[in-house]
């Protein structure tokens, strides 16, 4: 088993400029690690990375492009934010067998079965999701990687849950929903808005993730890494409203109505299979492996950071017309149904 001086680790991030990964790249570099990122470099919304990061350009879905970008370099740790499905997981095992001491697969806490039968959610909680194809693909990848570990592949599984940063608000519909909130339009909330939900800022997530780098005890293990900040959805919209100086106009709609009224919308599937249910996590396992893990950023504190980001980056935080149309359609459907039921009252 590899033994590391963590400050001297050579780390490769597949991805590295996204919502979750950027903070981890910054923390790894600040910790003295030799940090590389690999992506296509075509994401217009990608975050700026600090000086000192070695950027490799390649397409992880193209074997030839990936091979050319990697060359014959060996990495102490490889962190893959871009992997989906069983076939892709098998290909990553082939690529990195013998080329890394630790392969960290970024999975998702959406794989846990909802509604949860026992609280809080632990790593041993049942894993299945009947609604979300995204969650099913993540789980299939986990199965492949655990099988590979049984044959000697040095994998660690990490499951984030609704991780966000200042440039990506944790709302169904993203900036479009926040724009509706800011301009005084009605915003959509699944269910009655009282289910409990855990939010994690990417800077807090990075503490746990980077703390696992080079940890030989973490090989073969799975961890979810979440914040301790729990709120209802109505409370979240209220906090954002306070930061914007507006009173939210909330429309509560059953999640199955969203799935029926907008089956093509990514968020309809995620709401029905995940967001509509409460999710509160036990983080004792990650704390036992990374004693320094201590989330600090609450959603209430970071709402003002998101509002400031929106003001400073109007070119990337505006509403999306297609998303806005879907939300308006669902809100309109709510009002039609409400008027119908009112007409039936004696």
pTM exceeds 0.85: yes
Q: Which of 3-7, 27-31, 113-117, 148-152 has the lowest mean pLDDT?
A: 3-7
The pLDDT, as a whole number, for residue 2 is: 42
The per-residue pLDDT of the chain, averaged, comes to 92
Asked whether the predicted pLDDT for residue 111 surpasses 70, the reply is yes
Burial letters 201-215, b for 16+ CB under 10 A, else e: bbbbbbbbbbbbbbb
The pLDDT, as a whole number, for residue 122 is: 96
- Is residue 208 in a domain? yes
H/E stretch holding 149 reads helix 133-150
Are 200 and 231 a contacting pair, CB within 8 Å? no
- Is residue 157 in a domain? yes
Query: CA 164, CA 118: separation in Å to the nearest integer?
Result: 26
- Is residue 119 in a domain? yes
The domain spanning residue 24 has which CATH number? 3.40.50.720
Q: What is the CA radius of gyration of the chain?
A: 21
Asked whether the predicted pLDDT for residue 3 surpasses 50, the reply is no
- Is residue 343 in a domain? no
pLDDT over 90 percentage in the chain: 81
- Is residue 201 in a domain? yes
- Is residue 236 in a domain? yes
The pLDDT, as a whole number, for residue 94 is: 95
Distance of CA 318 to the CA centre of its chain: 21
Asked whether the predicted pLDDT for residue 20 surpasses 50, the reply is yes
Taking alpha carbons only, the member of 192, 301, 189 closest to residue 249 is: 189
CB count in 10 Å sphere of residue 136 = 17
The stretch 269-291 carries a mean pLDDT of 93
Asked whether the predicted pLDDT for residue 6 surpasses 70, the reply is no
Distance of CA 87 to the CA centre of its chain: 21
Q: How many domains does the chain have?
A: 1
Using alpha carbons, list the distances in angstroms from residue 232 to 235, 250, 276.
Answer: 5, 13, 11
Asked whether the predicted pLDDT for residue 16 surpasses 90, the reply is no
Taking alpha carbons only, the member of 233, 245, 146, 244 closest to residue 189 is: 233
Asked whether the predicted pLDDT for residue 4 surpasses 60, the reply is no
Q: How confident is the model at residue 273 (pLDDT cuts 50, 70, 90)?
A: confident
Q: Which of 8-22, 44-58, 132-146, 157-171 has the lowest mean pLDDT?
A: 44-58
pLDDT tens digits, 213-232:
999 999 999 999 999 999 99
Asked whether the predicted pLDDT for residue 101 surpasses 80, the reply is yes
The pLDDT, as a whole number, for residue 133 is: 84
Are 29 and 50 a contacting pair, CB within 8 Å? yes
Q: How confident is the model at residue 345 (pLDDT cuts 50, 70, 90)?
A: confident
Sheet holding 163-164, edge to edge: 163-164, 196-201, 229-232
The pLDDT, as a whole number, for residue 5 is: 58
The pLDDT, as a whole number, for residue 293 is: 96
The pLDDT, as a whole number, for residue 1 is: 39
- Is residue 340 in a domain? no
Asked whether the predicted pLDDT for residue 207 surpasses 90, the reply is yes
Domain of 31 in residue numbering reads as 6-335
pLDDT tens digits, 41-67:
655 455 678 899 999 999 998 889 999
- Is residue 1 in a domain? no
Query: CA 247, CA 73: separation in Å to the nearest integer?
Result: 54
Please, which residues have CB within 8 angstroms of residue 145's CB and are 6 or more apart in sequence? 89, 93, 103, 105, 153, 155, 157
The pLDDT, as a whole number, for residue 269 is: 85
The pLDDT, as a whole number, for residue 154 is: 98
Taking alpha carbons only, the member of 186, 202, 174, 216 closest to residue 320 is: 174
- Beta-bridge partner residues of 35: 11
Taking alpha carbons only, the member of 269, 289, 166, 171 closest to residue 224 is: 289
């Amino acid at each position: 088993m590899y033994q590391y001086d963590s400050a001297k680790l050579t780390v490769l991030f597949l991805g590295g400029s996204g919502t979750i990964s950027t903070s981890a790249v910054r923390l790894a570099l600040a910790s003295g690690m030799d940090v590389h990122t690999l992506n296509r470099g075509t994401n217009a919304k990608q975050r700026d990375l600090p000086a000192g990061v070695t950027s490799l350009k390649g397409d992880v879905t193209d074997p030839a492009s990936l091979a050319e970008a990697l060359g014959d370099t060996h990495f102490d740790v490889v962190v893959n934010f871009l992997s989906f499905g069983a076939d892709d997981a098998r290909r990553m095992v082939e690529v990195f067998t013998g080329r890394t001491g630790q392969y960290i697969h970024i999975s998702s806490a959406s794989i846990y079965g909802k509604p949860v039968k026992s609280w809080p959610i632990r790593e041993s909680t049942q894993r299945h999701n009947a609604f979300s194809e995204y969650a099913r693909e993540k789980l299939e990848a986990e199965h492949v990687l655990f099988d590979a570990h049984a044959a000697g592949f040095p994998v660690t599984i990490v499951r984030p849950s609704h991780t966000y940063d200042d440039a990506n608000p944790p709302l169904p519909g993203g900036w479009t929903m926040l724009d509706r909130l800011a301009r005084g339009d009605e915003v959509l909330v699944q269910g009655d808005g009282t289910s409990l939900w855990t939010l994690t800022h990417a800077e807090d997530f990075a503490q746990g993730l980077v703390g696992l780098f080079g940890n030989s005890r973490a090989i073969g293990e799975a961890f979810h890494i979440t914040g301790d900040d729990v709120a209802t959805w109505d409370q979240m919209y209220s906090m954002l409203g306070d930061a914007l100086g507006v009173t939210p106009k909330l429309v509560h709609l059953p999640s199955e109505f969203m799935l029926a009224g907008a089956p093509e919308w990514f968020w309809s599937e995620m709401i029905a299979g995940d967001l509509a249910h409460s999710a509160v996590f036990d983080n004792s396992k990650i704390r036992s492996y990374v004693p320094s893990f201590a989330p600090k950023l609450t959603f209430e504190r970071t709402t003002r950071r998101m509002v400031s980001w929106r003001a400073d980056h109007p070119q990337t935080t505006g509403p999306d017309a297609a998303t806005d149309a879907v939300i308006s359609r669902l809100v309109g459907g709510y009002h039609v149904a409400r008027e119908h039921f009112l007409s039936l009252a004696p």
